[in-house]
């Protein structure tokens, strides 16, 4: 199949020098021509200099500070749309592709326009195992991910696409229609480990699908890294994130009710904590409640905006 499409790869880098060769050389060896936009989050390890010297064919946008995954990707996505991209492939800086990966994903998408996002299989850095988180994402009982495992084990003929509810954004192929419908990543309320969940919720609301293509792979080198946050910090972060994701989930008619219910539960928890004279715990819960209440009106405004087609409010024209 001859592909008459323009495909951009968006990579957000941050102190990524150790992965640049594997990541960028894999792109150069892609079976179809791609254009690359690299958005650097103010790296301090020489990443931008290495890109300029070794990969001048890639467009580099250097930021003066680290603005995070979502905002940096949004800069690259918006630029690619302005330049006339038909497809955008989001690739993590610590991941790399096979020569066939992009071509096959685009071919599958061309024949299956109901899918807004397609993902390859995610392997670990050595290619010896499935990426540890990816293996959990596609083993849920409520979508076709489990069927993928079953088909492999039972040696059944593999489907071209397995429809899934969730796959992380380390390697997403997005169609232009998907972005013009759904929009960019939420980069205000959600910071780290929630942007892709929110985006997928909006994809479902707009009646687009998400799928995994089992014939193609990426390699994601992240198994030796662990988080440094304390248990208390993680719990608070998860609490607020769940509140926001519920409120912004336009695909769930009860999302607002779940958000309000969570607030009531926290208020009851605060009362119990006060009665037990747990001062430090009470202060933390009170701060969370104040934060939730402050965010609620803004979440409702954003929720309503999500229901609109993004392109209708922008001046970016479709590719001629």
CATH number at residue 124: 3.90.550.10
The answer on 156 and 240 residing in a single domain is no
Residue 235 has a pLDDT of 59
The answer on 139 and 214 residing in a single domain is yes
pLDDT average, residue stretch 280-297: 95
Of 225, 243, 273, which one is at a domain's C-terminal end? Answer: 225
The answer on 110 and 23 residing in a single domain is yes
Residue 320 has a pLDDT of 37
CA 245 – CA 255 distance, rounded (Å): 8
- CA 240 to the chain's CA centroid: 19
pLDDT average, residue stretch 12-31: 97
- 280 within a domain of the structure (yes/no): yes
The answer on 104 and 21 residing in a single domain is yes
The answer on 291 and 200 residing in a single domain is no
**Least confident window among 133-137, 203-207, 247-251:** 133-137
Predicted TM-score of the model (pTM): 0.92
The answer on 171 and 156 residing in a single domain is yes
Total domain count, the chain: 2
Residue 317 has a pLDDT of 45
The answer on 182 and 94 residing in a single domain is yes
The answer on 245 and 219 residing in a single domain is no
Give the domain range for residue 15.
Answer: 7-225
Residue 190 has a pLDDT of 81
Tokens 């309320």 correspond to what residue?
189
- 315 within a domain of the structure (yes/no): no
Model confidence pLDDT, tens digit, residues 168-197: 999 999 999 999 999 999 988 886 679 999
The answer on 245 and 190 residing in a single domain is no
- 164 within a domain of the structure (yes/no): yes
Of 172, 190, 225, which one is at a domain's C-terminal end? Answer: 225
Strand partners, 95: 220
- 313 within a domain of the structure (yes/no): no
Of 225, 242, 263, which one is at a domain's C-terminal end? Answer: 225
User: Which token pair is 101?
Assistant: 């990966």
Q: Which residues 6+ apart lie within 8 Å of 251 measured at CB?
A: 201, 202, 204, 205
Q: Which residues 6+ apart lie within 8 Å of 176 measured at CB?
A: 81, 85, 86, 87, 88, 318, 319
pLDDT, mean over the chain: 92
The answer on 174 and 86 residing in a single domain is yes
Provide the percentage of residues in the chain whose pLDDT is more than 70. Answer: 93
User: Which token pair is 271?
Assistant: 């009362």
The answer on 79 and 22 residing in a single domain is yes
Over the chain, what HEC string results?
CCCCCCEEEEEEECCCHHHHHHHHHHHHCCCCCCEEEEEECCCCCCHHHHHHHHCCCCEEEECCCCCHHHHHHHHHHHHHHHCCCCEEEEECCCEEECCCHHHHHHHHHHHCCCEEEEEEEEEECCCCCECHHHHHHCCCCCCCHHHHHHHHHHCCCCCCCEECCCCCCCEEEEEHHHHHHHCCCCCCCCCCCCHHHHHHHHHHHCCCEEEEEEEEEEEECCCCCCCCCCHHHHHHHHHHHHHHHHHHCCCCCCHHHHHHHHHHHHHHHHHHHHHCCCHHHHHHHHHHHHHHHHHHHHHHHHHHHHCCCHHHHCCCCCCC
The answer on 239 and 220 residing in a single domain is no
């Amino acid at each position: 199949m001859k592909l008459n499409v323009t495909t951009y790869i968006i990579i957000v880098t941050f102190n990524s020098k150790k992965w640049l060769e594997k990541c960028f050389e894999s792109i150069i060896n892609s079976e179809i021509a791609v254009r690359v936009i690299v958005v650097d989050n103010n790296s301090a390890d020489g990443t931008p200099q290495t890109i300029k010297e070794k990969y001048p064919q890639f467009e580099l946008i250097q930021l003066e500070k680290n603005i995070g995954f979502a905002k940096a990707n949004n800069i690259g996505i918006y630029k690619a749309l302005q330049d006339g991209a038909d497809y955008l492939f989001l690739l993590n800086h610590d991941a790399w592709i096979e020569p066939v990966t992009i071509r096959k994903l685009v071919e599958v998408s061309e024949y299956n326009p109901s899918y807004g996002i397609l993902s390859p299989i995610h392997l670990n850095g050595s290619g010896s195992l499935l990426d540890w988180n990816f293996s959990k994402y596609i083993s849920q009982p409520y979508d076709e991910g489990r069927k993928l495992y079953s088909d492999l084990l039972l040696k059944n003929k593999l489907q071209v696409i397995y429809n899934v509810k969730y796959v992380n954004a380390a390697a997403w192929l997005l169609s232009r229609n998907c972005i013009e419908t759904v929009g960019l990543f939420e980069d205000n309320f959600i910071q780290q480990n929630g942007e892709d969940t929110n985006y997928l919720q909006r994809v479902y609301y707009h009646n687009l699908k998400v799928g995994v293509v089992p014939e193609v792979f990426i390699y994601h080198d992240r198994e030796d890294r662990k988080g440094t946050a304390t248990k208390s910090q993680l719990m608070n972060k998860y609490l607020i994130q769940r509140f926001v994701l519920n409120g912004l989930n336009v695909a769930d008619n009860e999302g607002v009710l779940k958000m309000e219910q969570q607030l009531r539960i926290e208020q009851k928890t605060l009362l119990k904590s006060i009665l037990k004279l747990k001062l430090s715990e009470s202060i933390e819960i009170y701060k969370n409640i104040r934060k939730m209440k402050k965010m609620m009106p803004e979440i409702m405004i954003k929720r309503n905006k999500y229901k609109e087609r993004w392109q209708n409010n922008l001046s970016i024209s479709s590719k001629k």
